[in-house]
Each structure stands twice: as structure tokens, then as C-alpha cells.
Structure 1
């Protein structure tokens, strides 16, 4: 073919089409599950290099504990200390409703495999009816899972109900944890100090919370304050971090992204405004998460948290469904 005889606009179209096809071919060869496993492993290695006792807990995406051949994903399991699961008994697909039996059985099969590999299981059920709350705690205890019955999907309040398995013991490792609190949205608290006071006045063995109060991070001194239960016992404090979606209210978000998204920012999550699906294997995204002194992970480690609770681990499902 003589390219000199092809009109410029046709040539441009041909070249663009080739680039599009090449990009699509590259996407078709991506192992989305393995990319997420590798991402978690890299985060774990980076954090544990700073603190060997730092806990790494991925939430949801429990399928990642198995490779395609159904054998354990050993490197992934070695990198994590526990697994988190939402909606095991209550909350899926609707808040304050029992999770359908087939979904429950599927999840339990995988969670029990993680448990047999020596990993603790942290379950968050979403229910507010007293009978459902009591049943949630009972079912989770029967299965040797640590659980929290969240009375609101927004995770914005400290429940007024008594803490399940409340105790005075010092909790210095995950194997000692008998209960936990999961709180991410602080809209109910007018100031950071008021939130800290409320949290310090509880006896939860473990607290999972967001690093930021509005745009202000918790300091190492504040987190150290939270590591004491009201009754004097020690407890663990874990930081939440989403790695499968970008959030436009985070410190890393650039104003220009609102009108000109970077290539790895895919599309907004229709169920959560301000949250964006991302190509989580992208180098630029990994740089924001863990690869420099101003990274999200560095801020968490420097704030003296005992570990990290990684969310949107199941982002691989979104890309597999788009294939």
C-alpha cells in the first residue's frame, strides 16, 4: 500500500484504529485478579518493611485466596494477616435483610478456607433490628468469625448497644481480638477531638477508622490515645484505605481531573458519587498509594496505626465483567 496516496484524515483514522485495537488487546491479556493480588502484596511488603507487625487486611474479593486452578494463592496469603467480609449474614442485597443462602454458602466456603490457612475473618453485617443484630453476632461466633453488626450502611455512628464479647484484656495482636468497631463517616461529630473522646470512651478490642477527619489526618499522638480502651486494656487501631477506586474528596485528587481525567481513571461509580473505577495496576495510581513519602500508605504508617484495612479489593470483578 502506498501511504502517500491515502488522504491524511483516512491515514489518521487507520492509525487511531490500530492504537485502539492494540490497547484493547493489551487489556484482554490482563489477569485482573492477579494484578490485585500483586498490588496487595506490594503494599504489604512496603508497610512491613517499616513495621514487621503491621497488619494487612483486605476486605471482600475473597476469591483472591485461590488461583485459577483452585490451589491456594500462597504469596497472597503470606502477605495478609486476615480477611474482611461485608454482608455475610445480613445486608446483601438490601440493608437489614438476611443475605440469600446461596451467597452466604459461597462466601463461607472461601472464608473458611482463609481461616484454615491461619487467617482471622472479620465480618461486617449491616442490620438494625435487635433480633437480626443478636443473630448476626451468634452466627459469626458459631463460625469463629469476629464480627460487627453495623446499624447503618454509612458506618457513621458508634452503636449504643452493649459490645459483644466485651472484655478487659490487653489486645496486642489480631489473634486476641474478640470484637471490633468499623466507623468511616464522621458527619455526626462536629470536631475531631469530640470523635476521639467518643472512641476512647469505648471498650472495643479493635477500631477500623478513616485516616482523615475532613481533610485533616489523625496524628500519631491521637492514634496512640485511641490504643487504650476505656477500661484500661490495650487495643488495635486500623486505618481504612480504598485501593480499587479513587475518591474525589481525597488529598491526592487534582482539580484538573474533574474536566480531564487521567487515562487510568475509568468511570464514576453510579452507586457512590465521587468514587471512580480505576485501572488499579497503573503505575501512577500505585505511586499515589504506596510508592513515595507523601503516599497514602506512608501517611497511615506515620500516623502510628497498627495496620490497614484495604477496600474495593473486588474491583477485579468490574473489569472481568467488561471483557
Structure 2
């Protein structure tokens, strides 16, 4: 019959053995140390001066004092004496006051590292819970992405042109701003006041480098407010106009037909603030002539044509430009 167990070296009771309680108590002492092994230290080489009963240490190299000659063993203080046990590969222990787990590799104690395959996990939640849509979820004051020696890119990829690849900014889970390529391949910035209705404030077409803003051309106002444009344009039978947010108004018409022997009224395509604006008339055709301006008001102006000797029985076409202010 063998003298000890193969794994923990616990002493066996032998046939016809006297003083069986000694062997039994020795086995219990070993079990008390090795089951749920808790170490006061790992790698210590000098015994503590006042160890507690049951206190255990994993001895380091070149131990001294009562531990001399027991390098690498587990020393346990029991009944005013040190008892030593040689650890085997696979033994597991922890250190008092810590949360780390150590495994003996046959020669030394090593910190256990989890062997977990992190590829193709269903989801990762950091301080929160991930779900089927938000498979990576982070709840923290900030998220840091940094370089590994040079640059760093954050890639957001979509499957097709009609899909969305964007950054969405929310207030209490309601969308307020979005930037990216949404529904097409043009980069755009959108804003919303309620998370449902969105306004596109800037758009850049792919391969064009052309920037389009929602309020560059539109309706201008005085005083200007949110959504009002920088330019306003319009056209009709009375010509066209360009209206600027700073108050400038430009009205023009091409090939305006004058009348022989009388003035012709040009009704402006957009009214000025007053009759104080300038008008330029250019006579078309090869025959020299003169065009005069009269009866000027905020909404119209009379145009009359003459030849070079003052005869008004001519009727050339003229190009007209009026510049002034709309407020």
C-alpha cells in the first residue's frame, strides 16, 4: 500500500498502524492549507516575525531563516512551527486582499490569464448592455481612440448608395444633428428640433467639390432670422432680380421694347424701398440713340427713346438694369 495520495501527498493510514490519529491529523492539516489555497505572499524569502496560525506563503528563491532550503515550496505556520509542501503543476491559489488568481506551472506561480476568443462575439457592453442593433455599447464620460505610432481612422461603411453611413447626435435619445452620407453618396449635415423633421443645412456632392447650403439661395428677410437666405432670386415677364440679405436689390430686363413717340413703363420685377435707385439703359441695334428715364417710383420707371437729333419717333429695344435697396 502506498504511503501518500498522488495529488496532494496526503498520508494514508497503514494496516496495523499505531497512533493513527497522528496520520489523520497530518492529512487534515494539509487539507486545511491546500484546499482553497490562500497565500499571504508570493515570492517572499524571509519568514514573518509573528505569523498567524494557518498563515501560508509561497517561498521565493534564496530563502533564509527557517525557510532556508525550501525555495519554491509553500510554507504554512501551524502550532508554532513551519510546515512545507512542494506545489505541483496546476495548483491554484489566491493572495489575501487581492482578486488575482495564480496557477503553478510546475516551477513557479504565474498570474492566470483568461483564454477567451474575442472574435465574432455577439455583443460587447462596457458599463452597459449591448443589444441586437447596438452590438457595441459604451456608457462612460468619454471614449478614446488614439494612434499606434502614426495616424488613426474611424471607418463607417454602408452596403449601398441608398443606405446610410452617418454620425447621429442626440438629446435624451432624440436626434438633433446628423452628418454623413444618408440615402445617397452626397455628404450632408442635417439638424432637427424634434428628432422627426429634418433640415439639410449643407450638402457636398461626390466628385464635384460643390457646396450647397439650405439658406444660401432662398427668401431673404429684414431683420434676418433662422432659415433666411443670403440671396433671393426671381424672374418673370418684367425681368429678373437678385436680392441680397444686406439690402441690395438688382433688377434687370433684356430687350425691353420702347414705344415710338411716347414713354413706356417698366414695372419692376421686385419693388425697391423707395424711388432712390439708379437705372442704366443700353440701346440695342446698330442705330445710335438715347434712352431717358422718368416717372421713377419704387415699383416702376418710364423709359423713352430718341435718335441723336432728339426725335422720339424711334422704338429700339433696350437692356435695363436698376440697382438700389429693398430696405
TM-score, normalisation: structure 2: 0.20
The higher-RCO structure (CA 8 Å, 6+ apart) is 1
Q: Is the strand fraction higher in 1 or 2?
A: 2
TM-score, normalisation: structure 1: 0.20
Q: Is the helix fraction higher in 1 or 2?
A: 1
